[in-house]
Amino acid sequence: MQAILSKYSDKDFGTIVFKRSNRARRMNIKVFAERLEIILPYGFSEMDGMQFLNSIREKLRKQQTKVSQKSNSILITEEKPLQTLTFVVHVKKVERKDVFSSLKSGVLTIEYPDFLEEKDSKTQLYFWNSINYFLRKEAKRILPYRTYELAKKYGFIFSDVKIQSSKTRWGSCNQKKIINFSFYLLLLPQHLIDYVILHELCHTKEMNHSPKFWEWMDKVTDGKAENMRNELKKYAIPQ
């Protein structure tokens, strides 16, 4: 079992998370696109962990860049704007000291300092921090009501809709009929957003993926459940 001890912001890695493990025998650093996790065995302090990190900082930076390029297939550049359900993202290099973002008339403009490299993992993390902020706001505005509309149309009953930052699944539904959606759902086209919503609504009837569940899915998708499921597999949640 691993327990989170603390979290710190870092100019190179985004976030550093310290965890205590009762099974670890030596310090270990796990590298993710947006964070590092330092696993500390008993007997080692956070200072020990930072000293270990700093001793291999450059190596970890290169490793994180590779992880970011591999896991985050959506690279944000000036030549390649990102389209979400409700806004398009444009990034722009300017003479300023920090990153500034504003959403106006369906356009999210992110201005970043000219001393940053556009495709660097740290710069991409800055972009995604801004995008995630507005995705969450838009998801809270759109997804609960759309769930209500589809539930009313097909006769489903649910308890609540919650918006999360999950990077492992688009949505989920628990025994209490509380439906959770990742705000990254807004990176999908509308028909696939509806598919995910209907998928979770069908779980209010059948909690597993039994034949009965897929009967419900075919019923609410006009027999297109398998095709839409395969189409959804072409999309990945940014890591």
Please report, in tens digits, the pLDDT of each residue of the chain (239 residues total).
678 899 988 888 888 999 999 888 899 999 987 789 999 999 999 999 999 999 999 999 888 877 766 555 678 999 989 999 999 999 999 999 999 999 999 999 999 999 988 888 788 889 999 999 999 999 999 999 999 999 999 999 999 999 999 988 999 999 999 999 999 999 999 999 999 999 999 999 999 999 999 999 999 999 999 999 999 988 888 86
CATH 3.20.20.140, domain 138-232, yes or no: no
What is the model's pTM?
Answer: 0.70
Nearby residues of 157 by Cβ (< 8 Å), 6 or more positions away: 151, 177, 204
Angle between helices 190-202 and 121-154 (to 10 degrees): 60
Q: Where are the domains of the chain?
A: 2-71, 82-134, 138-232
What sign does the CA torsion over 45, 29, 165, 82 have?
positive
Q: What is the dihedral of CA 108, 180, 222, 150, to 10 degrees?
A: -80
